[in-house]
Amino acid sequence: MNYPEGVVRSDEAASQPNSNKKATTFQLISWTFFDWANSAFATVIQTFIFAAYFTNRVAVSETIGTAQWGNTLSIAGVIIALIGPVLGALADQGGRRKPWIAVLTILCVASMASLWFVKPSSSYLMLALILVAFGTVTSECAMIFYNSMLPALVKSDNMGRWSGWGWSSGYAGGLLCLVFCLFAFVKTENPWFVLDIDSAQNVRATFVFAAAWHMLFVLPLLLFTPDTRSTGKSFSRALRDGLQQLKDSLYRIRRYSNIVRFLIARMIYIDGLATVFAFGGVYAAGTFDMNEQQVLIFGIALNVTAGLGAAGFGWIDDWIGPKRTILISLAGLIISGIGILLVHSTALFWTFGLILGVFVGPVQASSRSFLGQIAPEQLRSQMFGLYALSGKATSFIGPLMVGWITAWTSSQRIGMSAIIVLLFIGAILMLAVSPGRKKVSG
């Protein structure tokens, strides 16, 4: 096979895991395609189409469906929190990341495609929730290995922009995927394919398409992006050493006090942000009476502003540092989030929603670049495993708060106000984190 000029085959690049030589632009672009690919699950399944479909057409009622959706994502979050650090430590001991990404992606894609069998009836409720939980776990675990690749691929001074461009790629991928789903399947006038609308085949087909999208666009990373060299350890040896490494790191946790403070702050504000993703489509459908098509159009517009925000703030991250970028973005999320909860006009909901989208990407991208800069090289995947834990250890709190408060008050507006509280607490805790650029020594 002929590779583009300047491209190093991934198996050749893997032979230089500790080299100062960084990845080529082509290899870095290939890395960002995982964000592009993974966005299909986040946008089509977790946030917009399937979330609204489940609440409106599978669950017994919108209120009960909201609570069930929150409980399911909470359970998935607990599982990720438990296994994430172990997987990260295992990767540090085993060396390679891409085999893990490949296996976890295949499992996630299988769960997405299987959602085709969830018909618009409450008898399919358990199947829907099990598949969403399984897809969430595998998708998030794949991100551990993907995120931990970045510091080895790019210089520290450019990490913010590439992290931001990765997230921007994800929003662009989510946008295009949603646009295709809208015009090819969901629109009832002049659809591209003849599908039975009464059994929601036009909506369910989007889940299969999203699965194919995910699998296709993860291939550039698997084929071209450099991976670190295998340490040669057997799985059992790598697992044993990884658990010991994790134990030692936790025992010496004071050596990484700044990382701990950062992870605690992130644990809170990402919980709020994840709850926005989990209930965005549900809130739009329930409070503003949007159908699947309207929610999908809103999702497309939101992805435009989110992608622009992630790309633009990537430069700002490298300029003013990731900590300041995170704090500015959290302030923007809080202000626009309050606006969304107070307005009753659909037009104002759109306005504040699109403003909120600008700040969504920078919070995530700058969090990734911040840890990439300060994580010890030999513990990088483990730290990103703990990073996943920080995103999931309390992930049950946000969805449960929203679900229970919504059920208790019969008001989605009141339930969703819990998100603002989480974002505010996270911002306060982030103020105590040192913005240092230097990595902590192992």
CATH code at 34?
Answer: 1.20.1250.20
Cα separation, 47 vs 55, whole angstroms: 12
The secondary element (H helix, E strand) that includes residue 441 is: none
Q: Would 349 be classed as within a structural domain?
A: yes
Higher pLDDT, 432 or 195: 432
Q: Would 14 be classed as within a structural domain?
A: no
Which of helix, strand or coil describes residue 17?
Answer: coil
Residue 393, pLDDT > 70, answer no
Higher pLDDT, 292 or 224: 224
Cα separation, 13 vs 146, whole angstroms: 16
CA distances from 105 to 32, 80, 215, 232, 290 (A): 15, 15, 7, 24, 31
For 387-402, give the DSSP string.
Answer: HHHHHHTTTTHHHHHH
Q: Would 435 be classed as within a structural domain?
A: no
Higher pLDDT, 219 or 121: 219
What is the pLDDT, as a whole number, of residue 13?
37
pLDDT band at 249 (very low <50, low <70, confident <90, very high): low
- Dihedrals φ, ψ of 114, to 5°? -70, -15
pLDDT band at 442 (very low <50, low <70, confident <90, very high): very low
- Per-residue model confidence as pLDDT tens digits over 340-367: 888 888 788 888 888 888 888 888 888 8
Q: Would 441 be classed as within a structural domain?
A: no
What is the pLDDT, as a whole number, of residue 64?
83
Taking residues 287-304, what's their average pLDDT? 75
Average pLDDT, rounded, for the chain: 79
* Full domain range(s) for residue 103: 23-430
DSSP state at residue 190 = S
Q: Would 436 be classed as within a structural domain?
A: no
Which residues, 6 or more positions from 123, have their beta carbon under 8 angstroms from its beta carbon? none
- Could you give the count of Cα atoms lying within 13 Å of 151 in the half-sphere of its Cβ? 23
The fraction of the chain above a pLDDT of 70, given in percent, is 85
What is the pLDDT, as a whole number, of residue 114?
96
What is the pLDDT, as a whole number, of residue 373?
77
Number of domains in the chain: 1
What is the pLDDT, as a whole number, of residue 8?
36
> Longest Cα pair distance anywhere in the chain, in angstroms?
62
What is the pLDDT, as a whole number, of residue 438?
45
Residue 123, pLDDT > 80, answer yes
Q: Would 229 be classed as within a structural domain?
A: yes
Residue 264, pLDDT > 70, answer yes
Identify the weakest region by mean pLDDT among 8-17, 366-375, 390-399, 414-423: 8-17
Q: Would 183 be classed as within a structural domain?
A: yes
**Sign for the pseudo-dihedral over CA of 283, 302, 133, 396:** negative
Highest mean pLDDT (candidates 9-23, 39-53, 301-315, 327-341): 327-341
Identify the weakest region by mean pLDDT among 193-197, 202-206, 248-252, 264-268: 248-252
- Per-residue model confidence as pLDDT tens digits over 168-222: 888 888 888 888 888 888 776 666 777 777 788 888 999 999 999 999 999 999 9
What is the pLDDT, as a whole number, of residue 216?
96
Q: Would 157 be classed as within a structural domain?
A: yes
Identify the weakest region by mean pLDDT among 40-44, 146-150, 396-400: 396-400
Residue 370, pLDDT > 90, answer no
Taking residues 50-64, what's their average pLDDT? 84
Higher pLDDT, 275 or 250: 275
Cα separation, 170 vs 195, whole angstroms: 29
Taking residues 408-415, what's their average pLDDT? 76
